[in-house]
Amino acid sequence: MNTVIKDIFTRMKPICDVMMVSPSKENVAGFVSIVKELDSDHIQELQQYLLYPLITHIRSREMKGKHEKQKNIVDAMTVVLEKVQIKNMEMCIKILTGFMPLIFDKTRPGMIADVPEELKLSAMKCLTALMLGIDPAVRIKLFKNQVPLLAQIVFVSVHIAKLEKLRSLRLAAIKNMTAFTAIHDKLTDSTYQIKDSDIEYVVVDMLSSILPGVLSALQDVAMDTHNPGHAVVVSALNTIHRVICTTMNDKLLPKKSSVTAKDFADMIAEKMNCIDKDVSSKGLKDIVRRSPEWFSMAGDKLSLVVRSLVPLSAHEHVKVRKELAVLCARILNECNQSMQPSIPIVLDVLLSLSNDSYPQVAQYCSRVLKIYFTDSPKEKIVDTLDTLCENFLNVLTNLPRVLNNINSSRKLVGLDLVYGYMRVLSYGRGDRLTSALTSRGGLPALCDALRHAAALHTQRVSLATRAHADTDVTELTSNPLTTSPWLEFRHLDNAACVSRLREICQLVGGADCAHLVLDHLLDLFQQRDCELAYIINCIGSAPKSSPTLAKRILDIYLEEDLWYLPLELDVEETALSQEETLDVNVYNPRGWTKDSVPGLFEGATEVRYTGISYQQPRPPPGAVGGAVGGGGCRNTAQLQRNLVLSCLLTEGVGEMATVLKEHFQPYLMKTLCLLLERVGSRYEMLHRAGLQATVSVSVASGHAGAGELIAANGDYLTSHITNKLKKVLVQSCDKYHEKDLYAYLQVFLTFITYIRKWFHIQEERIISKEIELPNVLKDVLEFAKNQKEVEEMIHKDDVDKKSAQEMYLEDVKSKEENELDYDDTVTKETPPLPRHITVTVSVLRRTINFVTSERRDESVLALRVLRCGLVLLQDHEDQLLPLVHAAWSPLSATVVQPPVAMAALDLLVTMATLSKDFIRSRASKDVLPHIYKYLKTSSSESLLKDKGSAYRLSAKYRLQEAMLRALPPLLLQLGVEEAELETAMDSAIPYLSKNQPLPLQELSLNFFSDILSYNYGAVWYYLRTFCNNERALTPPRDVTLQLCDVIGTPYKCTNTDYDKNIKMLFKKHKC
């Protein structure tokens, strides 16, 4: 013993003696502080002397129940063990057996002693330090001779990790278990392999004995739903794959260099005697450990453990998914032969995680799969590929069931799994995927799965039409939508699932079997399902898809019966007779030799061909797309489906153009006009789809924008549009037939809109009369003065008064002179009307006939055409007033549906603005009473309807807004009397209540403000009566008259619901 060791021993002896007598907190703390100051080499020399008092107290029965002292002693022992290497087998056994009473109690659940969590945590750390610090030779002896003792400690450790709640304790218990099985991080290399092969051999022997219990407990730890955080799950998964891949590694399988005659004899005997192959039915004692039979049995049992871990592939934490990927990768590469039943399971997990949202997980799994399927020998993966194809079909079959689940993460995992399988089957030779799809119903299974995944909520699609101002013209330069609002998926409730479905379809489009899949989809597409159209679009627009696919898809989409699906509800029409459908003057190809609109083209004459034979009467349109009767939809649901399908077809044309690029030129002439028709659709969604597709086509054709594309193809467009207009005009010649009425009216609206733009004709604005507030006293004094003068004149003698006879003679003479007065004035010839006015009058006369159409959209559009057209005639009263008169009866009869009523109100205001008192009587009698009645009755329905109320979205509410907005200009332009004003104010006053929706309150305030400017006195008196207060207004004193006080003012309402808005009204008017 050298001098340094002697000095240390001299220093430590009194402390160890004191520790032996009294292991108090202070004595233990002093012992620990000195040990921490010493070098590891010195402690190694004195380890037995330092550990002796600690081991003695741990093993002493007197310390039982003294948990605080036990914890301090264990912590002190941990400090010593972390600095030494145990080379004494006897000391190691003493420490292990001393710890058993602290943590083990066979009467408790999990055989865990009932001691504080802190003591258990210290014990786990101390045991871990012991096993990490023992000598390799001692470790081998332990694993050979003390398996029951080690197994007991391992059992307690995994059950502490399973049953305890303290997170740090559970983690320490798992680390302790890895230390006792020599698979701790410090005992293995970077590939998780035990560094010492001799130790590995004995460890495998020990783990083979305790494998089921250890893995079942670790499985419970990993799958515990109450795990605090992710660290426990990650640690459990790490330990699981360390245990499995150490015990079941392929390198441990017994290898035979050749097949002997005995092997054949055993095989024949097995078949002849029908030996039971189910090893689970045999006793474990009958199976030799690590024999082929044992590995087969263990592989079957462990597949259940691996399968139970699959749900962790959808865990929210990336580290859990990464550790699960490591587990699966190790089983695939290191236990491929020994754990054959688990290979399909780990492949599923790796395929699913290869599409993980985190690159570190996705790239790791993709790399593992690619290396396995491309670099592995064919003999190794041939069985795996067969299993892979079978599992792929199972996944496709189960996908609809997974998508019906409410768990979004499970849906994404299911789609990721399909995508992963398809990508793996596409590795190497491309016919793997084709073989999988063409065998055992794979192709129908794939199409059905994709169809179910792409299921759409067509009944939620809005049928809203575009809101137009009267001078609006569709601009193709506007930015198209980056999303597709017509796509609302039934099962895919997040963007990640939708993106994955599109990637699956695009993967199909780039595969060798793309044409095969497309053939099957097109056969199914005869049912005209929206889901199939979406799938076909995704396949055709794949980056690696063949141009032939896109061309085939375009040929199908551009078929007339598919492209022109009915987009309106069916309306029963009277059967057409031959006389009503056949007009030789129109149907004769040579009938149009002169222009049918005189003067529009400066009298130009041209030969026009309609391309319609008049030899046979034209039959009524047949049922198209499930339509009935006149070609409309049976119900709203079918209309919504057709609208979504039309949007998908339009979107598909744009996507195919993007794929074909310069090869799209042959289809440009076929599609350009069709897309422009979509842009002009009444439906907002179809308009957006057309705009989006048109921009895509222009980019694919190399143009900067849609305008440049149209300019480059102007000649073709002019000819095509002319032919379209001829067909529309021909259809309009059928009596009672309105198949293309909407398009017909759109032509009129476009014509009038551009006439207004070319001639800079603006709508006549309603200018409120700016009048000063009346001075009531001044008016009264003026009235008194005039009354006095009249009385004086009556009583004054009229000296020059003529007799009755003289007055009669003067009248007779005046009459005779008037009869002899010849009118020699020359009547000025009326100048001819401008041509655009003549055409406008013709258009409006035609349009009046369609105001009463049974179809709402056509009726609204006709009213809009009339409103725009009448503005053109504001300077031509002789043409304006007859049209206003002709439009009055249809206008009165058409106000049934709220949207039509709102359009009719706009037209009525325009008519009142332009014709003034020409319609005053009829409006006061036929229209205004209905407006007053509706506003009064609906005021109770809108009461207390806040911003979130569904009533705000109803047609009734919008009609209330339209009426309150239209009423002031209507009354002002008609110049109604005070009695009519009072009735109007009765209908509008309920909307001054603070309980009405705020927009209606504002419109009511505007109404009264406009009427105040028009007739201040009438409104002042009405509101004075309505406020019903007893406040007095004192007039100024005057010597001429004695004026009394006025009781009641309009400035303070007794009803508090109206007081705020009434005060605001007068404040606003004074400003």
Residue 152 structure tokens: 């007991």
Tell me the per-residue pLDDT of 962-998, one tens digit each, with 9 for 90 and over: 999 999 998 888 888 888 899 999 999 999 999 999 9
pLDDT average, residue stretch 334-354? 88
pLDDT over threshold 80, residue 1061: yes
How many CB atoms are located within 10 Å of the residue 801 CB? Answer: 8
- Give the angle subtended at the CA of 920 by the CAs of 915 and 925, to the nearest 5°: 140
The dihedrals phi and psi of 22, each to the nearest 5 degrees, come to -140, 100
pLDDT over threshold 50, residue 729: yes
What is d(CA 108, CA 841) in angstroms, rounded to the nearest whole number? Answer: 101
What is d(CA 395, CA 408) in angstroms, rounded to the nearest whole number? Answer: 17
The sign one gets for the Cα dihedral 141, 144, 146, 152 is positive
| pLDDT band per the 50, 70, 90 thresholds, residue 12 | confident
Angle formed by the axes of helices 741-758 and 714-732, to 10°?
120
Tell me the per-residue pLDDT of 173-220, one tens digit each, with 9 for 90 and over: 999 999 999 999 998 888 889 888 888 888 888 888 888 888 988 999
pLDDT over threshold 70, residue 365: yes
Provide the pLDDT for residue 555: 92
Provide the pLDDT for residue 241: 92
Domain boundaries, the chain: 1-84, 91-247, 458-568+626-716, 848-1016
CB 868 within 8 A of CB 763: no
Provide the pLDDT for residue 356: 84
Q: At which residue do the structure tokens 């330090």 appear?
A: 129
pLDDT over threshold 90, residue 827: no
Residue 939 structure tokens: 């005021």
Tell me the per-residue pLDDT of 847-860, one tens digit each, with 9 for 90 and over: 888 888 877 888 88
Lowest-confidence range among 343-347, 396-400, 469-473?
A: 469-473
Provide the pLDDT for residue 819: 61
What is d(CA 156, CA 160) in angstroms, rounded to the nearest whole number? Answer: 6
Share of the chain above pLDDT 70, in %: 80
Decide which of 816 and 132 is more confident: 132
Distances (CA, A) of 509 to 25, 249, 537, 658: 74, 40, 10, 15
User: How many helices (H) and strands (E) are present in the chain, helices listed first?
Assistant: 47, 2
pLDDT average, residue stretch 413-430? 80
Provide the pLDDT for residue 280: 39
Which residues, 6 or more positions from 3, have their beta carbon under 8 angstroms from its beta carbon?
none
How many residues are given for the chain? 1071
Lowest-confidence range among 225-239, 242-256, 326-340, 716-730?
A: 716-730
What is d(CA 430, CA 904) in angstroms, rounded to the nearest whole number? Answer: 65
pLDDT average, residue stretch 464-486? 60
- Give the angle subtended at the CA of 167 by the CAs of 161 and 170, to the nearest 5°: 20
Which residues, 6 or more positions from 215, have their beta carbon under 8 angstroms from its beta carbon?
240, 243, 244, 302, 305
pLDDT over threshold 50, residue 768: no
Provide the pLDDT for residue 475: 54
Read off the DSSP letter of residue 588: -
Distances (CA, A) of 239 to 143, 204, 221, 326, 682: 19, 14, 11, 11, 64
3-state secondary structure of 842: helix
Provide the pLDDT for residue 282: 43
| pLDDT band per the 50, 70, 90 thresholds, residue 778 | low
- Whole-number average pLDDT of the chain: 80
pLDDT over threshold 50, residue 870: yes
What is d(CA 1065, CA 1068) in angstroms, rounded to the nearest whole number? Answer: 5
3-state secondary structure 542-584: CCCCCHHHHHHHHHHHCCHHHHCCCCCECCCCCCCCHHHHCCH
Tell me the per-residue pLDDT of 993-1046, one tens digit each, with 9 for 90 and over: 999 999 999 999 999 999 888 888 888 888 888 888 877 777 666 656 666 777
CB burial of residue 470 (10 Å; 0-12, 13-18, 19+): middle
What is d(CA 939, CA 996) in angstroms, rounded to the nearest whole number? Answer: 8
Decide which of 817 and 88 is more confident: 88
Provide the pLDDT for residue 424: 84
Region at 659 (left for phi over 0; alpha for psi -120 to 50; beta for the rest): alpha
3-state helix, strand, coil in the chain (%, to 5): 70, 0, 30
CB burial of residue 686 (10 Å; 0-12, 13-18, 19+): buried
CB 525 within 8 A of CB 533: yes
**CA end-to-end span of the chain, whole Å?**
109
Tell me the per-residue pLDDT of 684-700, one tens digit each, with 9 for 90 and over: 889 889 999 988 888 88
| pLDDT band per the 50, 70, 90 thresholds, residue 936 | very high
3-state secondary structure of 1033: strand
Tell me the per-residue pLDDT of 885-930, one tens digit each, with 9 for 90 and over: 888 888 877 666 788 888 888 888 888 888 877 888 888 888 889 8
| pTM, to two decimals | 0.67
Provide the pLDDT for residue 876: 86
pLDDT average, residue stretch 523-528? 89
Lowest-confidence range among 315-329, 463-477, 907-921?
A: 463-477
| pLDDT band per the 50, 70, 90 thresholds, residue 360 | very high
The sign one gets for the Cα dihedral 197, 202, 208, 211 is negative
pLDDT over threshold 60, residue 821: no
Most confident of 352-361, 420-429, 533-542, 698-707: 533-542
What is d(CA 751, CA 402) in angstroms, rounded to the nearest whole number? Answer: 55
pLDDT over threshold 60, residue 783: yes
What is d(CA 345, CA 68) in angstroms, rounded to the nearest whole number? Answer: 48
Burial 1032-1060 (b: 16+ CB within 10 A, else e): eeeeeeeeeeeeeeeeebbbebeeeebbe
pLDDT over threshold 50, residue 37: yes
The dihedrals phi and psi of 304, each to the nearest 5 degrees, come to -70, -40
What is d(CA 232, CA 171) in angstroms, rounded to the nearest whole number? Answer: 6
What is d(CA 1034, CA 1043) in angstroms, rounded to the nearest whole number? Answer: 9
What is d(CA 738, CA 731) in angstroms, rounded to the nearest whole number? Answer: 8
| pLDDT band per the 50, 70, 90 thresholds, residue 498 | very high
| pLDDT band per the 50, 70, 90 thresholds, residue 274 | very low
Most confident of 534-538, 670-674, 850-854: 534-538
Give Cα 31 to chain centroid, integer Å. 67
Q: Cα-atom radius of gyration of the chain, to the nearest Å?
A: 47
| pLDDT band per the 50, 70, 90 thresholds, residue 277 | very low
Distances (CA, A) of 305 to 77, 301, 310, 628: 37, 7, 9, 59
Decide which of 57 and 573 is more confident: 57
Provide the pLDDT for residue 805: 66
Provide the pLDDT for residue 237: 94
The dihedral formed by the CA atoms of 978, 980, 982 and 987, expressed in degrees to the nearest 10: -160
